[in-house]
Every structure is written in structure tokens, then in C-alpha cells.
Structure 1
Amino acid sequence: MGITRITAMDTGSALDDRSREIFRRIVESYLDSGEPLGSRNLSRILPMSLSPASVRNVMSDLEELGLIYAPHVSAGRLPTQAGLRFFVDAFMQVGDLSVEERGQIERQIRPTGTDMPMDNLLTETSRMLSGLSRGAGLVISSKNDPVLKHVEFVRLEPTKALAVLVGDHNQVENRIIDLPAGVTASQLTEAANFLNAHLNGQTLSELRSQLVRLQQQVEMELDSLSQDLVERGLAVWSGGAEDEKLTRLVVRGRANLLEGVEGAEDIDRLRLLFDDLERKESLIELLNLAEAGPGVRIFIGSENKLFSLSGSSLIVAPFRDAEERIIGAVGVIGPTRLNYSRIVPMVDYTAQLMARLSR
């Protein structure tokens, strides 16, 4: 079934009150149960008096607009993806979270009085979003560029050493580096002492820039082997291309997506979704989706090219550092019948909370 993007303005003018009410009931029934809603049941629950035949006439008009369809002959009607988008844009009312709901989110992400590492924070956030949404909770975070406190080189064997990097929050990164031929223990110490003398609370990228400016001084203070060692250590820590900084993707609750899935076709679609999540370029695409507009963004089915084959919906919001740079995103992945009005404020508040906790 092809998807035509229908704007709220275009369609809103084509619907009278009766058509809007019938369409709204069909969508709400789908979001609640996932089942088609037929004309007979519709006529019973409508606030106005309409016969099943009159309801069928309205449903036929809604089908011509591309808002609903019949999954089977003589079945009730379900919203199309275009219909869901129209419903979200024109009908959905998004409220705010209560004080109790905000407190529940905060307690689940980080229990009172704890100061957990960033990796644990990402995991707990993803698990919380999954539990509250009954979808898959998603958190993506850019790799930090920590302020450095201490550097040390530990020889492992004649041609390899362990480079130890200690950050300002006592986070430790270890990297194995190749040693220049003939390097001695004293040169390992000399290289580490030189780096520690020039740290001064700088990030790795700032330190590299400074050493480029101080190239002549570096050459005077260090012999060629020690200088080579410094450059190798910095290169290993800084990583490669810019997209390699997008290293952390946490997804919890994938099993939720399997609930109610029985057909082989649906299972194959979910497999495609999981495959998409494992691809490195997907991390960049997810952040691009979050960056493309302010606040929470909703992608329904094939609107989201990343998950278009699986037909999944994505609700995502970015979070920013103190300089308003986007450093990650949080979201929920699920079937198109997600409870959008409930999940949108949840994702929005979680993104705000992550921004505060990441600073």
C-alpha cells in the first residue's frame, strides 16, 4: 500500500464534524486494541445517531482520502500511516507529565544519592523508557571528550604499551599502543611527564592543538622516540573520523516489540529493524533525525527512512550540553499503534533530564 503524505490543513477542510468523529474513533480504537472497527460497532458508540449504512458511507469517503483502509474484505477499518500522521498533527492532545510521573522517571534513571557512570546512566534511561512505553527504549550518546587529569604509559611487552588516560570525573580509559622501535622505560616516563606537565585541565582535542602550536618546544624537550610516543598516544585516544565519536547506542526492551507478533512477515520486519540498529551509520542517522527540528519528533512507519522496511514508529528527542550542542538523543521505537500522546511528554522530559545529568 503506497503512502501519501496528507497535511492536516488539506484534510481538515475536507472533513465535517461527523467524518472527524468517525475517523477519530477508528484511530483511537486501533491505538487501544490494534483491531479494525466496523460500521455496526461504530454506530453504537458515536455521540450522534447514525445508522451503520450512514457510517459506511462516511468510511468510504475517508478511504478515498487515504486515511483508512480495510485489511480484509468485509472487515472493519484501520488507519493508514497517512491517517495516523493526520491524527497526530490534527487531533492528538499532548499533556504534561504530573509531578509523580516526573519523580518516577527521575528515580528510575538515577536513584537518590547516587552518582553513576555515564554508561550506567544510559542503560537505566533506556530501560526506563522501555518499561513505561512497552516499546524499545533507545539512548544514543556521543563519545565524551573528557578533561584530562593524568596520563601514564605502562610497558606490556617490547613493542606494546598500555596508555592510561584519567579524566576529571575519575573515568579511566585504557588503550594498547604500538611502541616505537627501541623505546626505553625512561622514555615512557619522559613522555608521560611531558603530557602531564601540559594538561592544565584540557580536553584531548585541546591538548593536541596546543602541542601543534608548541611543536618546536616539543622537539627541544623530547628526543625523537619520546615525541613519537606522545603522538601515538594522542592519536589512539582521539579516534578517527568524526562519526566514530558516536560510539554508544543502548536499546532495551526489544522483546516488547515481539508481543502480539505471530506472522512470519511481521517477524521478518522486526529482524530488519534489529539489523538496522546494529549498523554504525544508523547511529548518525538517529542523531540527524533528532537534530532536524526542535523538541520531540515523531516518525510513523515509512516516514522514517531508517526503519522504513520494518514499518516501525520512532519518537525521538535530542539532549544538549551546557553550550547547547547536541550530544545525544533519547527515544522509543515501537509499532505504529504506540500511545503517542503519552510517550511524547515522557521522551521530552527524559531528554531534559539527560541534559541536566550530562553537564
Structure 2
Amino acid sequence: MTLLTDIDTRSRAIFKSLVETYLETGQPVGSRTLSRATGLDLSAATIRNVMSDLAAIGLLDSPHASAGRMPTEEGLRLFVDGLMEVGAPTPEERAALEEEAGSEGHAQGLLDRAASQLSGLTQTASLVLTSKYDRPLRQVSFVPLDKARALMVLVDDAGDVENRLISVPEGLPATSLIQAANFLNAQMSGRTLTEASASVLREIDEKRGQLDELTTDLVRQGIADLAKRPGGGPQLIVKGQSKLLAAAGDDLERVQRLFDELERQQGIVDLLNAAKEGEGVRIFIGSENPLFSLSGSSVVTAPYRDKDRNIIGVIGVVGPTRLNYARVIPLVDYTADVVSRLVR
């Protein structure tokens, strides 16, 4: 692995200029272009020699013998870690993200809106991993569907709604559904499922005479179902895949591979879960992550947190390795900050 200290000052300047030009144009960069861009007053022949040396140590590559040079994945990593000048979102970009996200409230809607806006600003596909974690409940209700089934509807304190299908005894009267919901709301409102489950079961035993047998069975079944699936699995949101096509140019095969990789949702969930291990923005370039090794794509992620500063999810973008990292990184970071402030 080449370190920044392994190359001299002149080579660093040429390398930095080459990568910046490549990220802007998406095309291999020639020595004549760099001789005009670096401001180092170097001849094209001198720059060509430096580029050859940088290619020999694995930082540059050339798609064709007569073409210019482009950074390898190792070269991009060196640039991102040591040479890139990261900017900040413009006031207009900040305003757009905050306006689109809205205000505190329904977490699912907030994440959808933030992901869509991030995709639009970066012209990439955006990814959000959100945990279905144990939030305090606001309301429980039962909706009869047919003679043997009912829908248990859970509304948490963020306004998110979860529906669970349960079996009920045939002929169960509507009054039992209402009574069971009233009992659960009295015991569980404002408390998490974990906090309330054990005490609800104790309450049933202590007040056995206050609930009829069918209602008691319904309450027990509801608690058992909640205990069996206390929070569900993580949810994945993907927005803006069409942006990848727009940016593909003639490289449609790579984008098709990326679409195929996005279909493997468990792989993306694993990737985003790995991103939770970092405190801030994490960048995965090309084959650094096996999931995107075929399409040669990059992922930029940042965790978002709840009001207690616990990491509860990850937001990010995926696109070609030719991302405008200096612009994308602060946008992802700021979006995660906006979501952290608003998710409740």
C-alpha cells in the first residue's frame, strides 16, 4: 500500500491535479492537459515521466496504450485520505435538505424525504438503513379482518405504524377486541414493548376477574407476538436508482451490474451495518467492499442517531468510483446530522 510520504512534492501535485481532473471529466487525463493545469511550469515530457512512475507503484492506470492516465482504486483511496480538500454544503444545499426533511415526526416519511433529496443533490442512488428498534408505544388497536383473523395495529411515539396479523378464535365478539385494546393501552402507553410485556402479564393474573377468558387469551397472544418479534429487522430504503443511468454514459454494463448488486439487499444491509462501526463518514471504494467489486462502485455513508446519541441507522449514497467525493462527503454528513436532529 503506497503512502503519501512515498511520493515527493512534485509527484503529489501532479497526482492531485490528475485525480481532480479525472473526477470532474470522467476521462483519462493526458500530460498536456496537466501541464496546463498544475501551474508547476513543467513540460509535458516531465509530467509523462512522473505519471509513468505513479503507474509503476499502482496509483495510476491507463485503459489503452495511447490514452491518458486515470487513478486506480488504490490511487483514489490515497487521494481521498490524504490530498482531497473537502468543502461544505452550500447554504442552498443545506436549506434544500432541511426543507425537504421537514420537521420532527414520522420517521419513515422523514427518511424517505431525506434520501430522495440527497439522491437529487448528489446525482447518485441513496441508501438508508433504519433499525426497527424498541420505541415507546402510543396506541394499540385491533381491527377484525374475518372470522379467524385480526390486525394488531401498533403506533409508536414517533408516529410510525406497524401492522401484525394475528389469529383469533372464531366468533370472537367485537367487544373483546375493544376490551383487549383498552387494556393494553392502559398498561403499555408510553412504555416500550420490553418494559411493558412482563408487567402486562402480571396484571392479567392479578386482575383475572376483570377480563373474560377470550379477551385474556387475546391479550396474551398479542404480548407473545410482540415478545417474539420485539422490533423486527432493519429496513432498507433505496432512492434515485434512475440517477445512475443518467450518469452512466456509455458504461451501461457497469450500471446493470450495480443494479444487480442493489437487488442483493442482505449484502447492502451488511455493508451499512458495518458502517455503523465508525463515528463519522465512511468511504468504501470499489473492491474494498466485495458487494460492489463487479460494478466498481463507491459508497459514502454516515450514521444517524436518536436523541440519546445512540446510532440507530445509516444514510449514504452509492455511485461510480468517479464520485465528486469532496462534495458528496459533506452532503452525506450533513444529511445524517439533519436526520439525527429530527428523528424522534
Matched, 1:202 2:202: no
Instruction: Indicate the RMSD between aligned Cα atoms, in angstroms.
Output: 2.6
Conserved? CA contact 2:193–2:230, under 8 Å = no
Mapped partners of 1:165, 1:330: distance in 2: 25
Structure-to-structure mapping, 1:219-238, within 5 angstroms: 222=211, 224-237=213-226
Are the structure 2 counterparts of residues 226 and 128 from structure 1 closer, same or farther at C-alpha, using a change threshold of 3 Å? Answer: same
- Return the offset for 1:33: 0.4
Deviations along 1:131-153, one digit per CA (max 9) or x if unpaired, are 11111122222225443233333
Mapped partners of 2:278, 2:143: distance in 1: 46
Question: Which residue pairs with 1:271 in the alignment?
Answer: 259
Question: Which residue pairs with 2:82 in the alignment?
Answer: 90
Paired amino acid for 1:275: E
Question: Which residue pairs with 2:250 in the alignment?
Answer: 262
Question: Which residue pairs with 1:316 in the alignment?
Answer: 301
TM-score by length of 1: 0.85
Mapped partners of 1:53, 1:246: distance in 2: 55
Are the structure 2 counterparts of residues 265 and 172 from structure 1 closer, same or farther at C-alpha, using a change threshold of 3 Å? Answer: closer
Are the structure 2 counterparts of residues 51 and 273 from structure 1 closer, same or farther at C-alpha, using a change threshold of 3 Å? Answer: same
Mapped partners of 2:100, 2:177: distance in 1: 45
Question: Which residue pairs with 1:337 in the alignment?
Answer: 322
- Return the offset for 1:320: 0.7
Question: Which residue pairs with 2:200 in the alignment?
Answer: 211
Question: Which residue pairs with 1:125 in the alignment?
Answer: 114
| Partner SS for 2:316 | strand
Deviations along 1:27-48, one digit per CA (max 9) or x if unpaired, are 1111000111122332333323
Question: Which residue pairs with 1:293 in the alignment?
Answer: 278
| Partner SS for 1:122 | helix
Residue 31 (structure 2) aligned to one of 21, 34, 39: 39
Mapped partners of 2:122, 2:22: distance in 1: 17
Question: Which residue pairs with 1:3 in the alignment?
Answer: none
Conserved? CA contact 2:248–2:255, under 8 Å = no
Residue 128 (structure 2) aligned to one of 139, 142, 155: 139
Paired amino acid for 1:282: I
- Return the offset for 1:23: 0.9
Mapped partners of 2:36, 2:88: distance in 1: 32
- Return the offset for 1:340: 0.7
Conserved? CA contact 1:175–1:237, under 8 Å = no
| Partner SS for 2:142 | strand
Query: Which segment drifts farther, 311-320 or 169-178?
Result: 169-178
TM-score by length of 2: 0.89
Q: How many residues align?
A: 343
Residue 44 (structure 2) aligned to one of 41, 49, 52: 52
Matched, 1:26 2:18: yes
Paired amino acid for 1:165: L
Where in structure 1 do 4 or more consecutive aligned residues deviate above 6 Å?
Answer: none
Are the structure 2 counterparts of residues 167 and 21 from structure 1 closer, same or farther at C-alpha, using a change threshold of 3 Å? Answer: closer
- Return the offset for 1:182: 6.0
Mapped partners of 1:72, 1:51: distance in 2: 22
Conserved? CA contact 2:255–2:295, under 8 Å = no
Mapped partners of 1:349, 1:189: distance in 2: 45
Question: Whose relative contact order is higher, 1 or 2, with alpha carbons under 8 Å and at least 6 apart?
Answer: 2
Deviations along 1:138-180, one digit per CA (max 9) or x if unpaired, are 2222225443233333433221123233444555444331113
Structure-to-structure mapping, 1:171-190, within 5 angstroms: 171-180=160-169, 183-190=172-179
Residue 268 (structure 2) aligned to one of 257, 270, 282: 282
Deviations along 1:79-133, one digit per CA (max 9) or x if unpaired, are 00000000011101223334443223212322xxx66632221121111111111
Report sequence identity in percent.
47
Conserved? CA contact 1:269–1:311, under 8 Å = no
Mapped partners of 2:197, 2:317: distance in 1: 38
- Return the offset for 1:294: 0.9
Are the structure 2 counterparts of residues 46 and 166 from structure 1 closer, same or farther at C-alpha, using a change threshold of 3 Å? Answer: closer
Question: Which residue pairs with 1:64 in the alignment?
Answer: 56
| Partner SS for 2:139 | strand
Question: Which residue pairs with 2:238 in the alignment?
Answer: 251
